[in-house]
Amino acid sequence: AGSVVFDNVTKTYGHGAVTAIDNVSFTIHPGELVTLLGPSGCGKTTTLRMIAGLEHATSGRILIGDKDVTQLPATDRDVSMVFQSYALFPHMTVAENVAYGLSVTGVAKAEAKEKAEEGLNLVGLAGYGSRLPSELSGGQQQRVAVARALVLEPEVLLLDEPLSNLDAKLRRHVRTEIRDLQQKLGLTVVYVTHDQEEALAVSDRIIVMNRAVIAQQGTPRELYEQPQSEFIADFIGDANLVDGEIVSVDGDLATIDIGGINCNLRHRGQSKGPARIAVRPDAVRLSILSGAAGGDVIETSLKGHITHATYLGSQMQYSVTTPVGELFVIDHRIDTPIAAGEQVAIGFSERGMAVVSTK
């Protein structure tokens, strides 16, 4: 498996009218599954197509496995790409579809056939080779497309929104299979999606893109627990963005005041003063202050009023009006729901909070 390096890569279209990628640098290590995640139009497909050699960088350098491929045509690069529309040839059998790429590169028929059988075996479709694509489900067709790319044994496998044509349940199933396969074979995979849950589920690392640049990169956990901007806090999972104040700083820990409650949070060099804090919905703790349920007697500096309470089977969701703003809250204690209209004391769990900006 090979590495992929982008070194200050810029890509413009239409003689500079559109900047699809703006001076982007990253490194993908051999055997890693790295996801490019971001809203539509942020430059994900352009980045993949540049790795594949289907587009050329306007400036900067691209390396695959230590080899500078910036000027190399697609046919001379050891990568294969599964496109968003993975269209199989409808008149060819599944095995012929998988063998097709091998035949094109001059592999002998018998060997291509054998490799296609191996490829189908890898994606769990042994025995399906003689069927037509139309005789397979959407998820199976998707796996055939992956097998077709795999049999080429590329240094790098590129997957552009490979699950976008599948329904939600199948998406979860196939993404797990792709991840298992990638780990079993030690493949370097660059995976593109706009779905943050999918990215969290499959990736070793995620590169989040926004408007042609990298907004933040890191492991799924780093991105979720230490978002460095409001964009990331909001894009990876849900977040309440509330105003607080950094009252003191000690190394990389800051004491934050939110509505009179003090929390010790990690921060990145911001000095004292007003700050925006991202608070995950399950980092807000609610306790009943009054009402028919006979709530606890709690001393608190931050109180709120439940405006909506929604039962969702595995969790309660609340909207709470507070002096620091409207909070969206998820509570997994479904046996003790709080009714709309109740007054509540509010507490915070520091694990689900991060300083995202200062003013």
CB of residue 64 to ligand ADP, shortest distance in Å: 19
The two three-digit tokens of residue 336, written as one number: 């003790």
Q: If you search the block for the tokens 């460095």, which residue do you land on?
A: 228
Tell me which DSSP letter residue 77 carries: S
Q: Which entry of Mg ion, ligand ADP, none binds 43, CB below 5 to 8 A by partner kind?
A: ligand ADP
Query: Interacting stretch for Mg ion, rule CB under 5 A, among 41-49, 73-81, 85-93, 254-262?
Result: 41-49
**Residue 106 binding: pick among Mg ion, ligand ADP, none (C-beta 5-8 Å cut-off by kind):** none
> With CB cut-offs between 5 and 8 Å by kind, which of Mg ion, ligand ADP, none does residue 93 bind?
none
Binding partner of residue 344 among ligand ADP, Mg ion, none, CB cut-off 5 to 8 Å per kind? none
Could you tell me if 243 and 324 are in contact, meaning their C-beta atoms sit under 8 angstroms apart?
yes
Closer of 96 and 160 to ligand ADP (Cβ): 160
- What's the token pair of residue 190? 């660059």
When CB distances are held under 5 to 8 angstroms depending on the partner's kind, the choice from Mg ion, ligand ADP, none that residue 141 binds is none
- Strand ranges in the chain using DSSP code E only, listed in sequence order: 4-13, 18-28, 33-37, 59-64, 67-68, 79-82, 156-160, 188-193, 205-210, 213-218, 240-250, 253-258, 261-266, 273-279, 284-288, 303-311, 316-322, 325-331, 343-348, 353-358
Q: Minimum CB separation from ligand ADP for residue 39, in Å? A: 7
Is 216 a binding residue for Mg ion by CB under 5 A? The answer is no
Among 4, 9, 28, 45, binds Mg ion (CB under 5 A): 45
Provide the binding-site residues for ligand ADP, judged by CB under 6 A: 13-14, 18, 20, 38, 40-46
Closest to ligand ADP by CB, 52 or 344: 52
**42 or 316: CB nearest ligand ADP:** 42
* C-beta of 43 vs 237, nearer to ligand ADP: 43
Q: Which of 209, 197, 201, 229 is nearest to 6 (CA)?
A: 209
Q: Are 307 and 344 in contact (CB under 8 A)?
A: no
Q: Residue 279: which of 350, 222, 231, 208 has the closest Cα?
A: 350
Contact positions with Mg ion (CB under 5 A) in 319-358:
none
| Separation between Cα atoms, residue 131 and residue 121, nearest integer Å | 14
Tokens matching residue 156? 């790098």
- Rounded to 10 deg, the angle between the 168-185 and 138-150 helix axes is 20
Q: How far is the CB of 46 from Mg ion (least distance, A)?
A: 8
| Tokens matching residue 85 | 């529309």
Nearest approach in angstroms of CB 236 to ligand ADP is 16
The stretch near Mg ion (CB under 5 A) out of 42-50, 145-153, 234-242, 289-297 is: 42-50
Min. distance of Cβ 300 from ligand ADP in angstroms? 45
- 3-state DSSP helix/strand/coil % of the chain, to nearest 5: 25, 35, 35
CA distance 151 to 66: 23
Q: 286 forms bridges with which residues in the sheet?
A: 346
125 contact, one of Mg ion, ligand ADP, none, CB 5-8 Å limit per kind = none
Give the number of residues in contact with Mg ion, rule: CB under 5 A: 1
Which C-beta is closer to ligand ADP: that of 225 or that of 234? 234
Q: How far apart are CB 12 and ligand ADP at their closest, in Å?
A: 9
CB 230 within 8 A of CB 276: yes
The item of ligand ADP, Mg ion, none sharing an interface with residue 13, based on CB under 5 to 8 Å by kind, is: ligand ADP
User: Looking at beta carbons only, is 11 or 115 nearer to ligand ADP?
Assistant: 11
